[in-house]
């Protein structure tokens, strides 16, 4: 049995760890509220843009824009969105494994990879040589500028024929306890499903607009040329916001679990310390009694 000094040191260490995890939980909870507000504010814009795109794309030929074409026979390209920081449970591992499983499938055979987030880059650094670009430790975190840079790179690979299609792997935020890994094709754009792609939940976005007869000025092709790159940027940016909210939710849940585990460990160590102290006291009493009996005998 460990001595009392060692047990007290362990209790002190666990208590310090518990204070850190409790503080990290509070910080993540505050960040989660802001991230959740950003996700909620951006979803209506993304949904309306999808609805408008569906209405507009169905009025033109597929050959009117490269994003509406079939794509080349080149391997697919995968955009993986993870976080730069850890201590958020299995959040990053689930995303990286989902991307790895997709790349190992027949559909993703020979796929190249763009990683946003240091954790995803660390996962694939020693597992694959197909990482073309890695965006890690980006100052300011999620930003529209980063989404534009990532989407522009994906668009270039697709239009130049280096990628036959582009898939996005990200975490959809449902709640602090629930984050769902999604694998979604973003290029080429499926005109028939553009209005129903609701980041994976299959709910139509403003479905009533599909039957609305709009008058376009200038022509639909001109508007489409400006709308499709904006749609791609918005899709990537929305996925980044969803990922940020999912990260904070996963970290808050993980730190809450760690705080409770630390409390249970301290209770167990305190019980062990009390037993060790009682055993020490009992031993000393037995020695005193034995000594007294020896003197009396």
Beta strands in the chain (DSSP E): 77-81, 112-116, 131-135, 166-173, 179-187
Contact 98, 169 (CB under 8 A): yes
Distance CA 116, CA 133 (A): 8
88 is catalytic: yes
Q: Which single residue is written with the structure tokens 């909210």?
A: 245
Count other Cβ atoms within 10 Å, centred on residue 110: 10
Q: Rg of the Cα trace of the chain?
A: 28
Active-site option among 35, 88, 224, 240: 88
Q: Cα dihedral sign for 159, 161, 164, 170?
A: negative
Question: Which two tokens mark 42?
Answer: 């951006």
* CB proximity list for 118: less than 8 A, separation 6 or greater: 82, 83, 84, 85, 136, 137
Contact 249, 177 (CB under 8 A): yes
Question: Which two tokens mark 202?
Answer: 């299959």
- Residue 252 three-state SS: helix
Distance CA 156, CA 133 (A): 13
Contact 38, 239 (CB under 8 A): no
* Closest C-alpha to 78, from 111, 119, 122: 111
β-partners of residue 79 are 114, 168
Question: Which two tokens mark 232?
Answer: 């791609």
Catalytically active residues are 88
């Amino acid at each position: 049995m460990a001595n009392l000094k060692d047990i007290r040191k362990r209790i002190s260490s666990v208590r310090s760890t518990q204070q850190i995890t409790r503080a990290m939980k509070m910080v993540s909870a505050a960040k989660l509220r802001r991230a959740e507000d950003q996700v909620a504010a951006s979803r209506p814009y993304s949904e309306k843009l999808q609805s408008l795109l569906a209405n507009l794309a169905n009025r033109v030929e597929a050959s009117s824009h490269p994003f509406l074409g079939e794509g080349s026979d080149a391997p697919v390209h995968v955009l993986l969105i993870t976080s730069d920081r850890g201590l958020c449970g299995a959040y990053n591992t689930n995303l990286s494994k989902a991307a790895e499983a997709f790349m190992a499938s027949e559909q993703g055979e020979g796929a190249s990879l763009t990683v946003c987030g240091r954790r995803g880059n660390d996962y694939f650094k020693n597992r694959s040589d197909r990482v073309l670009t890695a965006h890690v430790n980006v100052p300011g975190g999620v930003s529209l500028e980063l989404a534009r840079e990532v989407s522009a790179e994906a668009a270039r690979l697709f239009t130049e024929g280096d990628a036959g299609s582009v898939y996005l792997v990200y975490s959809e935020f449902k709640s602090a306890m629930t984050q769902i890994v999604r694998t979604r094709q973003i290029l080429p754009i499926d005109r028939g499903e553009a209005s129903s792609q609701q980041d994976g939940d299959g709910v139509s976005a403003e479905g009533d607009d599909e039957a609305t007869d709009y008058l376009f000025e200038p022509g639909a092709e001109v508007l489409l040329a400006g709308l499709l790159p904006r749609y791609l940027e918005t899709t990537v940016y929305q996925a980044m916001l969803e990922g940020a909210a999912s990260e904070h939710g996963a970290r808050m849940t993980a730190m809450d679990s760690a705080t409770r585990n630390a409390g249970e460990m301290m209770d167990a160590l305190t019980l062990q310390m009390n037993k060790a102290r009682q055993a020490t006291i009992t031993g000393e009493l037995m020695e005193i009694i034995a000594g007294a009996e020896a003197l009396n005998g």
